[in-house]
Chains A and B, each alone.
Chain A
Amino acid sequence: MKNYLNLISISAKIHRRQTRMTRWCIIISVFLISAIFGMADMFLQSQKNLAVMTDGAWHVMFRELDEEQMTLLAARPEVKTAVRYAAANYKLDMGYSVAGVQTVLCGFDESFFEIYPGARLLDGGFPREEGEALVTESMRDREGLCVGDIVEVTAPDGSLSFRISGFVEDTSMLLQTDAFGVFMNIDTYMSCFRDVTRKEDIAYYVEFVPHCRIQKAIRDICSQLCISEDMVSENAKLMGSMMQSSDNYIMMLYLAAFILAVLVSISGMMMILGSMNSNVAQRTEFFGMMRCLGATGKQVRRYVRMEALSWCLKSIPQGLLGSVVMVWALCRMLQLITPTWFREMPAWGISWPGMGAGLAISLLTVLLASRTPARKASAVSPLTAVSGNADTVFAAKRAAHTRWMHVEMALGLHHAAGSRKNLILLTSSFAFSIVLFLGFGIGVDFMKHAIVSLRPDTPDVSIVSSENTGAIPDSLIARLKENPEIERVFIRAASEGMPDEKGKMILDIQLRDLSDDVVEEIRSMAGEGYRFSDSRAKNRETRAVYFSFALFVYGFLAVVALIASFHIINSIAMGAAARMRQYGAMRAIGISVRQLQKMIAAETFAYLFGGLAEGLILGLPIHYYLYRWAITGRWGDVWRFPLPECLVIAAVMTVSALAAMTGPVRKIRGMSVVETINKR
């Protein structure tokens, strides 16, 4: 031993059990902080992924640009990709068809596939030559087409022929409307359809270079190229997930989430602070003894700080590792359940923002948290250490009320409420968890409003009878029901504007097997004369969006609940550990284990009820205002009392409080009275 600070490692070995709780506290706090930031990071990544897959990787779309503006725009250094795009018959109301099937016509530059990874080229190549076109997969399959074949598009005023250069995947919209798509290069398109294309269906999509300040770039472009800002539209989902949206609502949502994440961090900080305070308080006599032996206040302060750092050295990496594993697990879940949509998510990715936040916040907290105990420790009077009275004269400022209740209950309540500062600190930290839970709970309401989840009767495919064919025959329904690949068939009357119309107009079909073969089989069973709507792709999309959002919203809620739970368990255990010698003395005087159990229960539930009441008083107005802003302001729903959220967090806290009591009670049961009261 060369330095008095070497005592830290020696003491750590001997008091391994005593410091275990503090070390666990740091591990769990680091884990929770970095997990919540890591989850937020992965959430943004997943939403970005989704946005790219569903809406494309473009950031901004300009309308009504002339050639010169387009050339100038494409040449700007902040523009990575610029794509010309135009479409006709997008709403299937212009009378273009192929083999009697409504057909959407699109023209775009080849780089369209870069900014729209959701549209995949399956076979062949881009139609570079004039008169060439790509057609959709469904057209290929139903019409038996190959690359090089000629496809004839029937127009209201004649017909147009294109040589097929390749095939593309159907989009969910095309599948749902049972329409075909014919896509060509923008020059071919313009030469054929310029006159019939609506102004709003001609666009110029722009993807900016990474790390570009997009809002500033848009302003610059608009002012320099004389483009009206009304002609600019943002890819809202993508821009939102990149924190670059001009939509105040989206940015405020992210701000609210960020504030909540900061609050979670504060909660973690409070946990570490409480734990370290209690750890030092339990060793008052040790620090007094050090002072007795000649250590200066500064040396004691340094000792406490170095000790805190030595705990960090092991605990922080463990907490970080835990959060990495959790983020991996979440990403794997996303990929396993919706592989197509989240294939870009890193399987073994590390969230550096999460790790950074966990490391920085916890290190800072431990160092800051060790300041108060270090000051307290250095202020311990040497006399306190040698008099043996350190435990008997602490805290109490007024006597407990034993007149109205049993003495053990009165003492338990007094332990909770005797020190107002302690009571406020603990109940506030419990209340804090409730506020956080209610705050994050708005995320569930938001999700339910913003993302329409699939209803139980959502069909995979639908057969719609047209006005000519009338009702769908019972024989077809019976045949469909017999098909083993079909789960359910719902018969629905089309009631749009025809409430009195009788007859079966729409068959909604849910499939056991979602493969194309089954869908084709159903299509051939139905035969001609019916409109077919394939919602499988749309459903997959909806499921992916809902699932990814739900996973993170409930993940956040789970982390907040975990924080609340661990905080309660930790606080109660720390409080009880600090009083263990007093409990020992009471046991010596004649209190029974059962009475001590009641005493701890009274203390625990005083904190719990205090925390719950405080949490609801603070949390409900916050919930009300957040709800009014995020939900009522957007969808008009009236605020409701968040009973499920309150019940869940109250249940979590009550169960945690009960669990928190078991540790101290077990210790008391196995306590040696003599050893406890003689402990120095």
Chain B
Amino acid sequence: MKKFEGLGRRMSDTMEIMKVEDLCKIYGRGEAVVEALRHVSFTLKKGEFAAVIGESGSGKSTLLNCIGALDEPTSGRILLDGQDLFAMAEEERTIFRRRNIGFIFQSFYLIPELNVEQNIIFPLLLDYKKPDARQVEEILEVLGLQERRRHLPGQLSGGQQQRVAIGRALIAKPKLILADEPTGNLDRKNSQEVMELLTKASRHYQQTILMITHNPNLITSVDRVMRVSDGVLSDLGGNVNEKLS
């Protein structure tokens, strides 16, 4: 696999790319009410690779869905590059989301009718933009999918499918990539490869990534770890292994 050399952008340590302010999400009513997120606030800097860990049902997926504007919070604000996601109209938010947020899902969610290359450039196609052939070539090379560019998702292994999903998340150079248990459906070797790719993307593209996982082994290479427990977020900082132990 090719390194990300030459693709890198200048990193600005201080540039705040995302700000979550006092985020609450409540499901249900009356006695069945569930507070999935309680007054969550944090910021992410440009190029930061952060992980959110937590037990199943702790609220980490809810947090990711709200940040990705897939789910609407009950209260609070999410600012991406200074823009309030939920102050926009639905159509505007969708367009903003596909230009500024890349998604990597546990179940990949590739379009079965599109081949590897088409799946990668899908966000650009939705924007009616002509993809830069050099950039596409570079991503295919980095992901090790050049040979399989004409393959359909059904003809790929799980690890390859997830690599396509990473390529799709990177192609539009979004301000933020959200990865929801990206290795949840993969074996150990493929999980390792995917994590390497994400880390490289973060380092060399200075791509901001927020990943949620319940696997403590995956967070060794991230810059910062946060934990969600019963809807409350606590920042564990950068020196993860020490704090987790």
Closest CB of chain A to B91's CB: distance in Å? 6
Question: Known contacts A399-B152, A406-B128, A674-B71; is A588 also within 8 Å of B109 by CB?
Answer: yes
Could you say which residues of chain B place their CB within 8 Å of the CB of A387? 185
Closest CB of chain B to A591's CB: distance in Å? 6
**Closest residue on chain B to residue A589 by CB atoms:** B103
| Complex interface residues of chain A between 557 and 601 (CB less than 8 A to chain B) | 582, 585-595
Q: Provide a sorted-by-A list of 23 A–B residue pairs whose CB atoms are within 8 angstroms.
A: A389-B107, A392-B107, A392-B108, A392-B109, A392-B110, A394-B112, A394-B154, A395-B113, A396-B112, A396-B153, A402-B118, A582-B112, A588-B70, A588-B109, A589-B98, A589-B103, A589-B168, A590-B98, A590-B101, A591-B94, A672-B71, A674-B65, A677-B107
Could you say which residues of chain A place their CB within 8 Å of the CB of B123? 589-590
Could you say which residues of chain B place their CB within 8 Å of the CB of A595? 126
User: Are B91 and A399 in contact, CB atoms less than 8 angstroms apart?
Assistant: no
**Interface residue total, chain B, C-beta cutoff 8 A:** 36
| Interface stretch (choices A93-101, A133-141, A411-419, A439-447) | A411-419
From B97, B109, B118, B152, contact of A585 by CB (8 A): B109
| Complex interface residues of chain B between 57 and 76 (CB less than 8 A to chain A) | 65, 68, 70-71
User: Are B152 and A590 in contact, CB atoms less than 8 angstroms apart?
Assistant: no
From A394, A399, A592, contact of B114 by CB (8 A): A399
Say yes or no: is B3 at the interface (Cβ < 8 Å to chain A). Answer: no
User: Are A393 and B168 in contact, CB atoms less than 8 angstroms apart?
Assistant: no
Cα–Cα, bound, A677→B65 (Å): 11
Cα–Cα, bound, A540→B125 (Å): 68
| Complex interface residues of chain B between 105 and 160 (CB less than 8 A to chain A) | 105, 107-115, 118, 122-123, 125-126, 128, 150, 152-154
User: Are A393 and B154 in contact, CB atoms less than 8 angstroms apart?
Assistant: yes
User: Are A408 and B126 in contact, CB atoms less than 8 angstroms apart?
Assistant: yes
Say yes or no: is B90 at the interface (Cβ < 8 Å to chain A). Answer: yes
Cα–Cα, bound, A631→B161 (Å): 63
Cα–Cα, bound, A674→B64 (Å): 11
Closest CB of chain B to A315's CB: distance in Å? 33
Closest CB of chain B to A355's CB: distance in Å? 45
Could you say which residues of chain A place their CB within 8 Å of the CB of B103? 588-589
User: Are A399 and B71 in contact, CB atoms less than 8 angstroms apart?
Assistant: no
| Complex interface residues of chain A between 367 and 410 (CB less than 8 A to chain B) | 387-389, 392-400, 402, 406-408
Question: Known contacts A590-B94, A595-B126; is A411 also within 8 Å of B114 by CB?
Answer: yes
Could you say which residues of chain A place their CB within 8 Å of the CB of B115? 399
**Closest residue on chain A to residue B121 by CB atoms:** A402
Closest CB of chain A to B83's CB: distance in Å? 16
Cα–Cα, bound, A450→B125 (Å): 61
User: A interface, how many residues as a size bin?
Assistant: 35 or more
Say yes or no: is B95 at the interface (Cβ < 8 Å to chain A). Answer: yes
Say yes or no: is A218 at the interface (Cβ < 8 Å to chain B). Answer: no
Given A402-B118, A582-B112, A590-B123, 16 more A-B residue pairs with CB atoms under 8 Å apart are: A389-B107, A392-B110, A392-B112, A393-B153, A397-B152, A400-B118, A411-B114, A418-B113, A582-B111, A585-B105, A589-B122, A589-B168, A591-B94, A592-B94, A593-B94, A594-B91
User: Are B126 and A591 in contact, CB atoms less than 8 angstroms apart?
Assistant: yes
User: Are B110 and A399 in contact, CB atoms less than 8 angstroms apart?
Assistant: no
Cα–Cα, bound, A592→B126 (Å): 9
Cα–Cα, bound, A396→B119 (Å): 13
**Closest residue on chain A to residue B95 by CB atoms:** A592
From A407, A411, A418, A673, contact of B70 by CB (8 A): A673
Could you say which residues of chain B place their CB within 8 Å of the CB of A672? 71
Cα–Cα, bound, A352→B137 (Å): 70
**Closest residue on chain A to residue B172 by CB atoms:** A590
From A402, A406, A590, contact of B97 by CB (8 A): A590
| Complex interface residues of chain A between 326 and 354 (CB less than 8 A to chain B) | none
Closest CB of chain A to B166's CB: distance in Å? 13
From A400, A408, A593, contact of B90 by CB (8 A): A593
Cα–Cα, bound, A400→B101 (Å): 25
Closest CB of chain A to B141's CB: distance in Å? 20
User: Are A407 and B122 in contact, CB atoms less than 8 angstroms apart?
Assistant: yes
Closest CB of chain A to B129's CB: distance in Å? 11
User: Are A415 and B113 in contact, CB atoms less than 8 angstroms apart?
Assistant: yes
Could you say which residues of chain A place their CB within 8 Å of the CB of B150? 399
User: Are B113 and A399 in contact, CB atoms less than 8 angstroms apart?
Assistant: yes
Cα–Cα, bound, A389→B155 (Å): 12
Cα–Cα, bound, A600→B94 (Å): 18
Could you say which residues of chain A place their CB within 8 Å of the CB of B122? 407, 589
User: Are A392 and B153 in contact, CB atoms less than 8 angstroms apart?
Assistant: yes
- Which 8 residue pairs of A and B lie closest in terms of their CB atoms, listed nearest first? A590-B98, A407-B125, A585-B109, A399-B115, A393-B154, A396-B112, A592-B94, A396-B113
User: Are A411 and B94 in contact, CB atoms less than 8 angstroms apart?
Assistant: no
Closest CB of chain B to A594's CB: distance in Å? 7
Question: Known contacts A392-B112, A418-B113; is A402 also within 8 Å of B91 by CB?
Answer: no
Cβ contacts A462-504/B at 8 Å (1 or 0 each) = 0000000000000000000000000000000000000000000
Cα–Cα, bound, A595→B122 (Å): 13
Cα–Cα, bound, A394→B126 (Å): 22
Closest CB of chain A to B89's CB: distance in Å? 11
From A393, A587, A589, contact of B112 by CB (8 A): A393
User: Are B91 and A677 in contact, CB atoms less than 8 angstroms apart?
Assistant: no
Question: Known contacts A393-B153, A407-B125, A407-B126; is A591 also within 8 Å of B98 by CB?
Answer: yes
User: Are A586 and B128 in contact, CB atoms less than 8 angstroms apart?
Assistant: no
Could you say which residues of chain B place their CB within 8 Å of the CB of A402? 114, 118, 125
Could you say which residues of chain B place their CB within 8 Å of the CB of A399? 113-115, 118, 150, 152
User: Are A586 and B111 in contact, CB atoms less than 8 angstroms apart?
Assistant: yes
Could you say which residues of chain B place their CB within 8 Å of the CB of A673? 70-71
Most A CB contacts (10 A, CB to CB) among B68, B113, B154, B185 go to: B113
Closest CB of chain A to B2's CB: distance in Å? 25
Cα–Cα, bound, A406→B118 (Å): 12
| Complex interface residues of chain A between 648 and 673 (CB less than 8 A to chain B) | 672-673
Could you say which residues of chain A place their CB within 8 Å of the CB of B153? 392-393, 396
Could you say which residues of chain A place their CB within 8 Å of the CB of B91? 592-594
Cα–Cα, bound, A582→B161 (Å): 16
Most A CB contacts (10 A, CB to CB) among B107, B109, B112, B153 go to: B112
Cα–Cα, bound, A586→B94 (Å): 11
Cα–Cα, bound, A389→B156 (Å): 12
Cβ contacts B1-33/A at 8 Å (1 or 0 each) = 000000000000000000000000000000000
Question: Known contacts A392-B110, A392-B112; is A590 also within 8 Å of B185 by CB?
Answer: no
Could you say which residues of chain B place their CB within 8 Å of the CB of A414? 113
Cα–Cα, bound, A407→B70 (Å): 22
Closest CB of chain A to B88's CB: distance in Å? 12
Could you say which residues of chain A place their CB within 8 Å of the CB of B185? 387-388
Closest CB of chain A to B115's CB: distance in Å? 4
Cα–Cα, bound, A406→B103 (Å): 22
From A389, A590, A677, contact of B105 by CB (8 A): A677
Cα–Cα, bound, A471→B185 (Å): 102
Most B CB contacts (10 A, CB to CB) among A414, A590, A593 go to: A590
Cα–Cα, bound, A171→B122 (Å): 80
Closest CB of chain B to A422's CB: distance in Å? 13
Closest CB of chain B to A575's CB: distance in Å? 14
Closest CB of chain A to B172's CB: distance in Å? 9
User: Are A395 and B126 in contact, CB atoms less than 8 angstroms apart?
Assistant: no
Closest CB of chain B to A300's CB: distance in Å? 24
